[in-house]
Amino acid sequence: MSIPCQSFSSLLPAIISSRTPPAQFHFRIYNKKTRPTVFSTQLRHGFPLITKRRTRTHHCYCSNSTMPLKDPASSPPQDSLSYSRAYWVSTSIIAWNVDAVGGSCFLYSSRSAALSVTDNGIEGSDFSIKLERHDQRLPENVRDKFPHIQDYNAFKVPISLDPKSILKDQLAVAFFDSSGQCISVTGLQLPGVLDDIFSYLGPLGAIFLNEVVSLHLWAPTAQDVRAFIYNGPSGGESLEIVNLKESNGVWSVNGPRSWEGCYYVYEVSVYHPSTLKIEKCIANDPYARGLSGDGKRTFLVNLDSDALKPQKWDDLADKKPNIVDFSDISIYELHVRDFSANDPTVDPEARGGYLAFSSQDSAGVLHLKKLSDAGLTHIHLLPTFHFGDVDDEKEKWKSVDMEMLKSLPPDSPEQQEYITAIQNEDGYNWGYNPVLWGVPKGSYATNPNGSCRIIEFRKMVQALNFIGLRVVLDVVYNHLHGNGPVGDNSVLDKIVPGYYLRRNADGFIENSTCMNNTASEHFMVDRLIIDDLLNWAVNYKIDGFRFDLMGHMMKSTMTRAKSVLKNLSRENGGVDGPRIFIYGEGWDFGEVANNGRGVNASQFNLAGTGIGSFNDRIRDALLGGSPFGHPLQQGFLTGLSLQPNGLDHGTESNAARALDVSKDHIQIGMAANLKEFVLTNCDGQEVKGSEILTYGGDPVAYTLQPVETINYVSAHDNETLFDIISLKAPMEISIDERCRINHLATSIIALSQGVPFFHCGDEILRSKSLDRDSYNSGDWFNRLDFSYNSNNWGVGLPPKEKNEKSWPIIKPRLASPSFKPHKNHILSALENFQNLLRIRYSSILFRLRTANAIQERVRFHNTGGSQVPGVIVMTIEDGHEGVPGLTQLDPEYAYIVVVINACPTEISFTSPVFRGKLLQLHSVQMMSTDNLVKNSNYDPSAGCFRVPSRTTAVFVEPRNIQE
């Protein structure tokens, strides 16, 4: 996900300067990344003109054409150079949507950034050249790469011009009509020509050889690059300043091996389009593998050094828990700080950080062991790279007296006032504000300087692997936290300004992901992403990657990432590459929507790739509405039609219809959201999953393989599962019933085909006191309690910024003691969750490998117009006598029936299909302490199931009793 944007007022000082272009800002009403609503506002500022002109010699590049004379009666706006509306798309072509009937176009450059717009067009240039109008469309390869400008006019760059000679300059184009009037001027966007000329696959970053440390920086538009070498992480004079030499856009230098353990920064002299100046940018290395504690210097560290490896680190690939097929995966999403910040069983120095996972007897680790023993396979860690808004140096953090907060009423606004007063100066943030992708976050280490964060991160991965859990990293390649030539949070935009960040038609940075969208359609951005993934996979032995706002990346980047990772082996990198799973958020919005910047990695485009994407259809159908709808809108589990909460859901018949349609969406999700899965819908028609439509008119189903759906009902975004149930279910129901709904939701996810995904704490009724976006709500609202004494409900009204509109419905719920679960409720929820995992892993039939196997074996009953409302009946058939052509997969069970009763009352369901079946309640449920599920029964003579209210019952036909 991406964190919410900063307030508008806090951004202004950083963006307004004497040369700031007209700025386009997008503000997102933030609930993280599910098709966000975007609002726009524009600022316009005046721009002082640069009138200084200097002479510069270019051999054979200047045009022989005479510059047209200009009628001074009118001229382009004087701030025209602040825009970049033309695109240098390849070595030989510039694209511009100028009205180019007749007239002529000229390209200008200035090495000193002295261009200005005057009554005569552009002045201050060192060089100018006439461009030829190209009457044909842009070439196909250009249109494929830049579909958003496919109808622009094409202008040919004369073959006499070597683009390398001016790509370091300030550049502009001007168009003159046939009378010599300059009618338009603009700057240029350069990624196309940079890719055409300077695409590079050689070494980057710091390379450690026997006697040499070499530095390599891709910066083709830089005029000069120097490296400042320091002995320590902060303060002091530089040990030396070295000049890097350029070869084909790559700057490099060789230094002594004694540099290892030192720190460095680059000084890059480069034209920056945001200021229209040549800037001396001080930047970290984009390929940094270590940092200083303040994040201002790159640490020269050799990750292959034995001193940085925990004992037996190189053998970890052989010790990892086995995964036979991606269909066997189950994922548990967890924030590093949440895990242990409030755990008194963890050493105080390790709390909230990497080392807490190595505390084998802590409450949190013992909890993870319980889940692992039940079958859980993967821990998904929220961002752990170097992100902004949390200082790595803990002594700078501010905190609130927790004991004082505990004394306040459960519905008080005071808690959130104390928390938000320091929220940007405490130690908490989810981390969706990346600064450098390739370095572990220092705030989670006991010492942010030196190699400590590297060693402790590796110990965390090793510790989790040793208790049977593989590790997934949440990667955020879709945007960056900073831009421009100054500030610690800007790195890539200092090195090659205007290249790494995606820009709109005016040349300003796209912000649909919240801020500073990156452009994986550009060659070196794609390369940086792939290289970063390899860094984490090889150097940290990571087992999977979850991509934030994956739909804002190109499909080609994702498929290449999958291929490159798959090709890793224990012999090549010490990694079992084919076992690395990748998935992400395939939302399709913003400038990339409908393949607006190329074929993007959206849900529909990824079908057949084996890359997973989050299934928001099953989430919304189960809970009701969407994260952006009315908070009381009910769904299949929360009482829609069956137990109304007072919100107007239309007439009774409309609500009943909505319930039935939601059920169709859920059943398709339970069948891995397969496009080709055939289902009898609520109207009694046999339809494919792709023919069932969402309320917005899109197909519900979008996958071709089961592992392409990530089924979930909650994640770090939005309210927790317990909280959203507490909002949507009727106020008058008991806490026991709310807990039953929580159980029911996790059961549907756990027993569906595809990959199940759970938010940490769903299994212990986790609450954030109804906070819908706790990315910056501190430890107070994000607390986890692995002693199971509290679920964190009723710790005050959630922060005002994102929740104030809902306070009127939140306040009475928090104030009511009937909403707060007791320890026995939490323990019951945990046992239920463990049992669901045990059931899932008791049979391969819950984890079918192929779409064909699901189509052949999975059936839904209680469908069509005469169905029992609120009840799902799913069967999974295995090969046995009487079913020709169906192979046997499960040695223990021949037939499984899952009955899901979302009704507030007991139900019975009868079908002749089940008569004579030798079915019995699953042994895991028979042995549970849940007396309701143990009251589920089946009558073979009638083919009738009876299932208590809000219960999922699993019936199996063991082979050893089948005749």
Q: Do 38 and 584 meet the contact criterion of CB atoms below 8 Å apart? A: no
Give ∠ CA 36-10-272 in degrees, rounded to 5: 85
Kindly report the number of other CB atoms within 10 A of residue 396's CB atom: 13
The rounded distance, in Å, linking the Cα atoms of 581 and 323 is 10
The rounded distance, in Å, linking the Cα atoms of 628 and 696 is 13
* CA-closest candidate to residue 339, choices 379, 374, 373: 379
Q: From residue 320, give the alpha-carbon distance in Å to each of 336, 376, 378, 617.
A: 21, 14, 11, 33
Residue 25 in 3-state DSSP?
strand
For residue 648, the surrounding DSSP H or E stretch is: none
Cite the active site residues: 548, 585
Q: Do 605 and 527 meet the contact criterion of CB atoms below 8 Å apart? A: no
Q: Which amino acid is at 634?
A: Q
The rounded distance, in Å, linking the Cα atoms of 536 and 539 is 5
Q: From residue 156, give the alpha-carbon distance in Å to each of 527, 722, 916.
A: 29, 61, 79
The rounded distance, in Å, linking the Cα atoms of 858 and 876 is 5
Give ∠ CA 838-843-845 in degrees, rounded to 5: 130
Beta-bridge mates of residue 43: 23
The rounded distance, in Å, linking the Cα atoms of 299 and 305 is 14
The rounded distance, in Å, linking the Cα atoms of 54 and 113 is 10
**Rounded to the nearest 5°, which phi and psi values hold at 363?**
-60, -40
Range list of H helices, 624-691: 652-670
Range list of H helices, 414-477: 414-421, 452-466
* CA 27, chain centre distance (Å): 18
Largest CA distance in the chain: 99
Residue 392 in 3-state DSSP?
coil
* CA-closest candidate to residue 104, choices 15, 182, 3: 182
Q: From residue 571, give the alpha-carbon distance in Å to each of 307, 465, 476, 579, 582.
A: 22, 20, 29, 15, 22
